[in-house]
A and B are shown apart, each in its own frame.
Chain A
């Protein structure tokens, strides 16, 4: 009986502590959220009025992928990749220094929501411009034109030359992604498709021999091959779609023109090409030359 009481008292104490922790934590969280909202509106006004003056220390939140080597990758406290390089160049042109930039993870399924809720100010995260997305958010760019391609083991080069050669072969892609859908609709008649939550699983299957090819946008594949490092994987180089990577902006943003100018400047002064080369180093990958470097598509309205 006594031990029951002690146990009950202990349980109650733990419960009380937990509740106390909640009550102290919550107002703090709300505060930061509110701050973020204010900053957001401030950013918009500043950029409009003064063209982004670098004097004040407000930060710009940029949504990137954290898990795509070569594009947007969190490496300890650093961020690397082509998306990150373009983001840093563009924001520098807009008048922000590197320490005013805060990188935030923007997973594919949450990109529109994050822009609409003001959790990020802009998104550089292999964000293909599509009509449906254009209704929900604004796009600047494109800053890169990728195409769906295949990543294969180097010893298969020459046998697997494109999606038509996939009959009876095993293919891996990320479930729900546009690439998986296209393969299912157009090429899966002969190929076996396995859908995985992330590309790292696909790479594991490819190096382990369970699948013969991994499919998604060519530059993502090149980044994965470069991260694998040993040169045992390579991109086929026969893209069969056109994905225009744009800069995602909240609807009605007035930064679009400035961003387009900055991207054009990056292409013109050679920094764009240097960034592509540096991030796909050692894979022999070159972007589709017919479409790259891209033409800015102009800003809506």
Chain B
């Protein structure tokens, strides 16, 4: 009786649509963070001192800053005070600002994951690459990074899982994702507060568990056998 009433309530909301927004945020932010994080990791292992210093500083500053602060500074400082507008449309603008905040934050974790992957590559590989005359960039591209990525799949998967869940922080940037929908549901249907929370939590479990299973499988499958 009460259950069917609750399901009726649920059907009044576009829950799948709201999760879809989270997945889109995650997808765009993950690609950007991977690119930026890889570049940072290259900087941190490069032979140029100033690049190493810049990479280390970025990681230490951004990794130790709460994501909410980064998100809020996008929407409260960069957009209104510095006039950073990424689209004429309000909603698209906020979506892009949120993606950038997520990417900037998670890039530092991606960088550290890749660096942990680099540490799985024996020093002899780098020395051999040097010995056959490869400069830093070709050596990284052809020898180090392919092995490093295969060793970094598990930590990268953890970062992706964190990113999926952190995408709810985009609510602070006015992106209508699942946590905003949850607030609406609690506001309108206060008699079902606990079931609403559980439903949203279960939704995240359904999204995150396959990602965990897949990355564990891939990290075993693709591990470099030495």
User: Which residues does chain B contribute within 8 Å of A132, judged by CB atoms?
Assistant: 188-191
Tell me whether A177 and B187 are in contact (CB under 8 A).
Answer: yes
Determine the distance from Cα of A257 to Cα of B193 in the docked complex, in whole angstroms: 28
Tell me whether A205 and B80 are in contact (CB under 8 A).
Answer: yes
Tell me whether A133 and B171 are in contact (CB under 8 A).
Answer: no
Determine the distance from Cα of A195 to Cα of B188 in the docked complex, in whole angstroms: 17
Q: Is A112 an interface residue when CB atoms closer than 8 A count as contact? A: yes
User: Which residues does chain A contribute within 8 Å of B193, judged by CB atoms?
Assistant: 109, 112-113, 136
Within the complex, what minimum Cβ distance (angstroms) separates A224 from chain B? 17
Determine the distance from Cα of A196 to Cα of B188 in the docked complex, in whole angstroms: 18
Within the complex, what minimum Cβ distance (angstroms) separates A200 from chain B? 10
Tell me whether B174 and A176 are in contact (CB under 8 A).
Answer: no
Q: Is A197 an interface residue when CB atoms closer than 8 A count as contact? A: yes
Within the complex, what minimum Cβ distance (angstroms) separates B3 from chain A? 15
Determine the distance from Cα of A132 to Cα of B186 in the docked complex, in whole angstroms: 10
Determine the distance from Cα of A196 to Cα of B80 in the docked complex, in whole angstroms: 13
Q: Which residue of B lies closest to A111 (CB)?
A: B190
Chain B interface size, as a band, is 20 to 34
Within the complex, what minimum Cβ distance (angstroms) separates B137 from chain A? 39
Q: Is A178 an interface residue when CB atoms closer than 8 A count as contact? A: yes
Query: Which residue of B76, B90, B171, B174 contacts A204 across the interface (Cβ within 8 Å)?
Result: B76
Q: Is B180 an interface residue when CB atoms closer than 8 A count as contact? A: yes
List residues 8-48 of chain A with CB under 8 A from any CB of chain B: none
Within the complex, what minimum Cβ distance (angstroms) separates B168 from chain A? 12
Q: Is A208 an interface residue when CB atoms closer than 8 A count as contact? A: yes
Tell me whether B80 and A133 are in contact (CB under 8 A).
Answer: no
* Most-contacted residue by chain B among A109, A170, A208 (CB, 10 A): A109
Q: Is A292 an interface residue when CB atoms closer than 8 A count as contact? A: no
Q: Is A100 an interface residue when CB atoms closer than 8 A count as contact? A: no
Q: Which residue of B lies closest to A181 (CB)?
A: B184
Tell me whether B187 and A170 are in contact (CB under 8 A).
Answer: no
Q: Is A201 an interface residue when CB atoms closer than 8 A count as contact? A: yes
Q: Is B172 an interface residue when CB atoms closer than 8 A count as contact? A: yes
Tell me whether A192 and B90 are in contact (CB under 8 A).
Answer: yes
Q: Is B176 an interface residue when CB atoms closer than 8 A count as contact? A: yes
Tell me whether B191 and A136 are in contact (CB under 8 A).
Answer: yes
Within the complex, what minimum Cβ distance (angstroms) separates B77 from chain A? 11
Determine the distance from Cα of A113 to Cα of B195 in the docked complex, in whole angstroms: 13
Query: Which residue of A113, A176, A196, A208 contacts B187 across the interface (Cβ within 8 Å)?
Result: A176
Tell me whether B186 and A176 are in contact (CB under 8 A).
Answer: yes
Determine the distance from Cα of A163 to Cα of B91 in the docked complex, in whole angstroms: 19
Tell me whether A208 and B190 are in contact (CB under 8 A).
Answer: no
Q: Is A166 an interface residue when CB atoms closer than 8 A count as contact? A: no
Q: Is B79 an interface residue when CB atoms closer than 8 A count as contact? A: yes
Question: A149-182 interface mask toward B, CB cutoff 8 Å, 1 = contact, 0 = none?
Answer: 0000000000000000000001000011110110
> Contacts A132-B190, A175-B180, A197-B171 hold; do A208 and B94 have CB atoms under 8 A apart?
no
Tell me whether A176 and B184 are in contact (CB under 8 A).
Answer: yes
Question: B138-176 interface mask toward A, CB cutoff 8 Å, 1 = contact, 0 = none?
Answer: 000000000000000000000000000000000110101
Tell me whether B90 and A176 are in contact (CB under 8 A).
Answer: no
Determine the distance from Cα of A136 to Cα of B76 in the docked complex, in whole angstroms: 37
> Contacts A113-B193, A205-B80, A208-B80 hold; do A195 and B186 have CB atoms under 8 A apart?
no
Within the complex, what minimum Cβ distance (angstroms) separates B121 from chain A? 28
Tell me whether B90 and A193 are in contact (CB under 8 A).
Answer: yes
Determine the distance from Cα of A113 to Cα of B188 in the docked complex, in whole angstroms: 14
Q: Is A232 an interface residue when CB atoms closer than 8 A count as contact? A: no
Q: Is B220 an interface residue when CB atoms closer than 8 A count as contact? A: no
Determine the distance from Cα of A196 to Cα of B89 in the docked complex, in whole angstroms: 17
Q: Which residue of A lies closest to B83 (CB)?
A: A210
Tell me whether B190 and A195 are in contact (CB under 8 A).
Answer: no
Q: Is B183 an interface residue when CB atoms closer than 8 A count as contact? A: yes
* Most-contacted residue by chain B among A136, A180, A181, A195 (CB, 10 A): A195
> Contacts A192-B90, A197-B171, A205-B80 hold; do A112 and B183 have CB atoms under 8 A apart?
no
Tell me whether A194 and B171 are in contact (CB under 8 A).
Answer: no
Question: B83-103 interface mask toward A, CB cutoff 8 Å, 1 = contact, 0 = none?
Answer: 000000111001000000000
Tell me whether B171 and A109 are in contact (CB under 8 A).
Answer: no
User: Which residues does chain A contribute within 8 Å of B191, judged by CB atoms?
Assistant: 112, 132-133, 135-136
> Contacts A175-B174, A175-B180 hold; do A194 and B187 have CB atoms under 8 A apart?
no
Tell me whether A195 and B184 are in contact (CB under 8 A).
Answer: no
Q: Can you give 5 contacting A-B residue pairs, CB < 8 Å?
A: A109-B186, A112-B193, A133-B191, A175-B183, A176-B187
Q: Which 9 A-B pairs have the closest CB atoms?
A: A176-B183, A192-B90, A136-B191, A112-B190, A135-B191, A195-B174, A194-B174, A210-B80, A176-B184
